[in-house]
Structures are given as C-alpha cells and as structure tokens.
Amino acid sequence: MNPMSTPYQHSGRTSQKRRTFDAIVAAARQAVAAGETPTVDGTAIAAGVARSTAYRYFPSQRELLAAAHPETVWKSLLPDDAPEDPAERLDAVVLEFTRLIINTEAQQRTMLRLSLDRNPANSTLPLRQGRAIAWIQEALIPLQVQGRFSTPEIHALALAVRSAIGIEALIWLTDIGGLTREEARASMCWSAQALLQHALTSGPLPTTQISAGPMVQGESGA
C-alpha cells in the first residue's frame, strides 16, 4: 500500500481509482517542481478530475502535500544485499539519499520552504518529521547489535549525520559555497563518514538532551 494512500481508493474499482490517485499526485508534484504550493482544487483541475473526486482522495491540502513529497515512496535506502560494516552501510544510504535529493531538487526546495512555514497544514510534511533519520539509524544498527552504541547514542549520531546532508546542506554548498552538485554530494558523503569515524574513535555524541527516536525501518519522518 502506498504510504500516502487513502481508504477510499481501496474499495470498489481499485484499478481505476489507482490511476486517478496517481494522476492527482503527479499533478501535485509538477506544481511542487515549479515552486508552487498545490491546493486540492488546483490540482484537481491540473489532473483533469472533478474537485469532488480529488477531495475523496485528499480531504485536505495537508494530505496532498504529504503525498506530493518525492521521498514518500521510500521505506529504506539500503540495497537488498546490504553490507554488515556500518561505514559501508552509511555510505550506501548517504549516496542514495543525496542522489534522491539532487534528482528532485526543485521539489525539495519547495518542500523545504513549505516546511519552514508556520501553517499548521504543513506540520506533517515528511521534511518536518525527520524521515531520513530512520534511514540513517538503519545503516548504523550494527553498532547497536555489537554493543558499541546504545539506541540514544545511535539516534544522536543519526541526527548529526542528517544535519550534514539533505536539501539544506545542498542549498548551502551550491548557492553559498559555489560547489557543483557532484562536488556538494561528495562533500556531504565525506562529512557523514567523518562524523561516523569521529564517533568510533572518540566515543559517541552526548545524549543528555537528545531523546531516542524510532529504530523501525520505514518510520515516518526527511
């Protein structure tokens, strides 16, 4: 089931409803890529469906914005044959995450702008929920299994890594730092590994003020 799907589309003519759902989401993502904030009404027109139909799938703009986020289809960024070494696992996740960010940069920039808006409708956007934290924690799980890091310590390290990658870092490195996208990607990957190696050699980050987040694969939360 699509993580942003609605009960309505799973009853009756499901194939047709799935096509309608996909058309609405595609139209919303096109609007986001253009730097716009899609509404249910406007997206219905763009998708060529009735407003009443669109509202059956997305009762509010909040659900529509969440479905339009380019990262909602991902549950894990590790390959099927994921290595056991934490550094290799982290590198795989960061490489895939930064590739995703660059490939959907226009949408990511719009979602970042929306996530900074105080509008309550935007409070459930994936970017506001730390979705990438769960992906990074999954990469670092061997450290917990080995008894080297506790759950709070892994969470703290994941937060540190997330602060060095993503659309926020990409914007700073390219717009302010003047790097190319590939240079920025290399910088983010290097930073992630540097943080991990520092934690491995100097000890985990302080966790006094950091509560442990979910360690469940695919937990909502970029």
Considering the four listed CATH numbers 3.40.50, 3.30.565, 1.10.10, 1.10.260, the one that applies to the domain covering 7-68 is: 1.10.10
Alpha-carbon distances, residue 152 vs 28, 47, 91, 133 (angstroms): 37, 44, 21, 12
Q: Please state the φ and ψ torsions of residue 62, each to the nearest 5 degrees.
A: -60, -50
Q: pLDDT for 132-177, tens place per residue?
A: 899 999 999 999 999 999 999 999 999 999 999 999 999 999 999 9
The crossing angle, in degrees rounded to 10, of helices 86-103 and 181-202 is 150
| Contacts (Cβ under 8 Å, ≥6 apart) of 193 | 87, 90, 91
Read off the pLDDT of each residue in 13-29 and give the average, rounded to a whole number: 87
3-state helix, strand, coil in the chain (%, to 5): 65, 0, 35
Length of the chain: 222
Residue 2 has what pLDDT?
Answer: 45
Q: pLDDT for 71-120, tens place per residue?
A: 555 678 999 999 999 999 999 999 999 998 998 888 888 888 877 776 65
Domain assignments of the chain as residue spans, ordered by start: 7-68, 86-202
Read off the pLDDT of each residue in 23-39 and give the average, rounded to a whole number: 85
Q: Is the pTM of this model over 0.85?
A: no
